Amino acid sequence: MLVDRVGEVAILEEAAELALKDVAPEIIEKNVPNYIGRPRINITKLAPGNPLEFKLTIDVMPEVKLPDYKKIAEAEMSKKEDKVEVTEKDINDVIEEIRKQRAHHAYHLAHKDDTEHKHSDEDIDKHKPEFNDEFVKTVGNFTSVEDFKTKARENLIQEKQNKVLEKRRNELLEKLVAETCGRNKNDCASINRQQ
């Protein structure tokens, strides 16, 4: 009665699905312990009175042999340090940026009701504050222009040192990946495609 209503193939498909649901995890656990993701199952043969045939595809975690990363890290990090310098121009650029920001703010406060007026660089320049001891006290915890410049220099040095360190870390990481892929060419093909 069921065969007449839904058909023999539908019953076989349902039975195959139920059987594979129980059998597939056992097969995977037994044969592929380092799998990742979900298996893909394709039934290749399904006929009454014949054994069920199927194809099971699963992604496997590649075995990656790392190079002597400590040796590579030591070699990379022992390279001559890039010298970090902060010039007067760097400090003057910081000062000029702060003055411009204040000028924009002052300009917009002065013209907040004038929605049609578009400002030019000359308009902004007219609102630039003088960079003196009184001004730097409004910028932050500074006592004088010299105090500001000293702290600005320290901050710029730290910022540049951080960039150098970040650059070194990236170079080290690239070298480690290159060395690892050199040993595991097939496993790294997918890594290179993703980069």
Range of the domain at 145: 69-194
Kindly state whether residues 141 and 124 are assigned to the same domain: yes
- In terms of C-beta density within 10 A (0-12 exposed, 13-18 middle, 19 or more buried), how is residue 137 classed? middle
Q: What is the pLDDT, as a whole number, of residue 4?
A: 65
Q: What is the pLDDT, as a whole number, of residue 190?
A: 46
- What backbone torsions phi and psi does residue 178 show, to the nearest 5 degrees? -60, -45
Q: What is the mean pLDDT of each run of 10 residues along the chain (195 residues)?
A: 69 81 83 82 84 85 76 72 87 94 86 70 84 93 95 94 87 82 56 36
Kindly state whether residues 162 and 81 are assigned to the same domain: yes
Kindly state whether residues 96 and 186 are assigned to the same domain: yes
Write the CB contacts of 84 (distance below 8 Å, at least 6 apart in sequence): 157, 160, 161, 164
Write the CB contacts of 82 (distance below 8 Å, at least 6 apart in sequence): 164, 167
Kindly state whether residues 176 and 96 are assigned to the same domain: yes
Q: What is the pLDDT, as a whole number, of residue 192?
A: 39
Say if CB 127 and CB 103 are below 8 A apart. Answer: yes
Kindly state whether residues 41 and 74 are assigned to the same domain: no
Q: pTM (2 decimals)? A: 0.55
Last residue of a domain, one of 35, 60, 85: 60
Q: What is the pLDDT, as a whole number, of residue 193?
A: 35
> How many domains does the structure of the chain reveal?
2
Q: How many CB atoms lie within 10 A of CB 152?
A: 20
